[in-house]
Structure 1
């Protein structure tokens, strides 16, 4: 069993370059705030993992594991690794840290996810992020690659099952509203009108195909850190903090699946079946099975990938709330609302909170841990005891899901 001792996340509204902050500065700030928040010392951490997608392209900086010892000499000699899986990089870093703890190599781990992306113009950022597609083989005619890719996913739904923009608009509206509750949300002060969530060419213009402005997750500078521990180390930590072991959140289950790099390959593979992305469904089911939870209704809230509204639309049904092609039912009946039967993205998600790519999977687990310990403040889901995450890299090429609970 792997426990979450706590963590910290940055303010996703900050523009680091504008503030004169380099990626190394942000890494150090995150690590130091995380240590302070948990009361841990560097010598208590035995292994370090970094989730980051494109540090080389945006910042000309790789080998980010070296920033642990660069931050504090107490980390000299600690083994470190950096993990890349596009938008699922942070979740892969958590999986690797968990594996080391479960194997008995180490009792404690620090997992830090980070991405700096607002230091270049938007079109260049879009080109950099396109590295997670099949370079030179798909979307070569798109101005904005990922809005186009997830428009194509929407078109696949439209062709197979039918799709109404009003349902995508409602997903965006919910996530922006949830983001207003979150003091770290990039969009917490943004203002909208009703037309902002409609197919309105002025208030919500088309970016690519079916994808409109409010359908898009944010380009974000941000970071998040969590500290993980074995049962033995967690028990010692709980005692030191005057807590019981059962007061600490733990990662009850996980799922991890991979698929082809090309979106067309994935869509062609599922053309004759009901589920558009069967491997995404499997990752969510595996996480609940390992957690001993029979179905999605044993979950109290979901932190899901909504890089675009079509991604969350897909996630609703693939996590088991509805049948294939029926996600609209959970949108129309309010199931995924903040006060609904199964709230989605109470944090605001990638649309409302922000999406620093390499940090997102770490942030999701941190928010899940906050929820199940009643520490999510204004975006707390009442009575939450089990929260599921769903983190997706590329066009569902890498999918990771965790169940966090007490």
Structure 2
């Protein structure tokens, strides 16, 4: 992307819903989220020139591929538009935004629809875990684990402990902040959940171990959901703003991005970074790329972070790659209030993946949508006072894919 991209609006579904239990599927999800997206963006679907879709495993969960065509089936006004699906594990939605941004920056199109979606609660927990396990190296890792991803991120926790030392109280507090934030979010998966005493501690009764040292509240749950945004070129956005009595600088825009990919096997990544300053150098690099393309110095220029926390250890590691603190120092900003919604750098005011929910293909899109609302003061009960610049960090696999965006306004 060589120019700013303007986020005109978007929508998400309720991440607490079980669509299959309602007798509904992916097409129904699209038929709900697309009209809401176009209404929020105040864009007629006929004005969309290109469509990009983020999804990990439609074939495995629903028996459905060709999701680009499914979007057109849900909104017939999009017939004839080019529509492509993108897969990068949990970063699928963000890679769809990167591709849409490249289309707009090339000058080929002015208006893009980006949709992320996943139906995941229509199968057993074990089948869901096996489906999601395809984003690891099949047949090479987590071979003896009942649940591949808790096992792999437990390995991350073990490596973190080996390098820096790890007190579970840090993970517990990170998770508690996430669930407290999610309780305020009217669309969060866990907004109605209750947590008895000991839920964030090393309490084997209410917070049992799942894999390794990771416990129940350290682990995100599968869920269903969709999120979509309409993004536009500066030329289109200027006309759109003028017809509504707005200035262009009042609109949320994506000013920087980073997108990097590492090798697939977790053990190989950890081995390669043994002498590095960072546990996952490509994650740090993607974030630095986003800062640089946005013309920023670093994390000191950011007001809010929408950050990947499918597990509490994922959140802690990602926190340490922002440039805020060094490796092994994340516990200090978890415990001192820095990342709480009233702190100096609020993280995941809507609850993040742990609490808001993680319908895999939708997450990266939801992050940018939430960021756009924060910087325009339209985030409702989730609003962080004075937020004008938000960093998103979306990770796929065992930090294999990393995508970061800077979303801001100057008004």
Q: How does the TM-score come out when normalised to structure 2?
A: 0.98
Q: 1:29 aligns with which of 9, 32, 45?
A: 32
What does residue 245 of structure 1 align with?
248
1:374 is aligned to 377
Asked if the contact 2:34–2:75 (Cα under 8 Å) also holds between the matched residues in 1, the reply is no
Aligned mates of 2:86, 2:348 — CA distance in 1: 24
Cα deviation, residue 333, structure 1: 1.4
* Alignment partners' CA distance in 1, 2:88 and 2:107: 25
Which stretches in structure 2 are left out of the alignment for 5+ residues? none
SS class of match (1:18): helix
Q: Which runs of 5+ in 1 are unaligned?
A: none
Q: How does 1:86-165 map to 2 (within 5 A)?
A: 86-165=89-168
| Mapped partners of 2:355, 2:296: distance in 1 | 29
Task: Provide the rounded CA distance (Å) in 1 between the counterparts of 2:243 and 2:214.
Answer: 50
Give 3-state SS (helix, strand or coil) of 2:6's partner.
strand
User: 2: distance between equivalents of 1:329 and 1:284?
Assistant: 21
Conservation of the 8 A alpha-carbon contact between 1:115 and 1:356 = yes
Match of 1:178 among 178, 181, 185: 181
- Given candidates 190, 193, 197, the residue that maps to 1:190 is 193
> RMSD across aligned C-alpha pairs, in angstroms?
0.8
Q: Deviations over 1:130-155 (max 9, x none)?
A: 00000000010001110010110010
CA distance in 1 between counterparts of 2:179 and 2:397 reads 23
Report the counterpart of residue 293 of structure 1 in structure 2.
296
Question: What SS class does the counterpart of residue 77 from structure 1 fall into?
Answer: coil
User: 2:112 and 2:197 mapped to 1: Cα distance?
Assistant: 45
SS in structure 1 at match of 2:20: coil
Contact 1:28 1:67 (8 Å CA) reproduced: no
After superposition, what is the alpha-carbon deviation per residue over 1:32-51, rounded to whole angstroms, capped at 9, x for unaligned? 11112222111110000100
The answer as to whether partners of 1:316 and 1:330 remain within 8 angstroms in 2 is: no
Alpha-carbon shift at residue 19 of structure 1 (Å): 1.0
Alignment of 1:197-276 (within 5 A): 197-276=200-279
Would the aligned equivalents of 2:9 and 2:42 in 1 still touch at CA under 8 Å? no
Q: Does 1:351 align with 2:350?
A: no
What stretches of structure 1 move > 3 A for 4+ residues in a row? Answer: none
CA deviation digits over 1:29-70, x for unaligned, max 9?
A: 111111122221111100001000000000000000112321
- In 1, are the aligned partners of 2:118 and 2:225 still within 8 Å (CA)? yes
Equivalenced residue count is: 406
- Counterpart-to-counterpart distance in 2, 1:162 and 1:78: 52
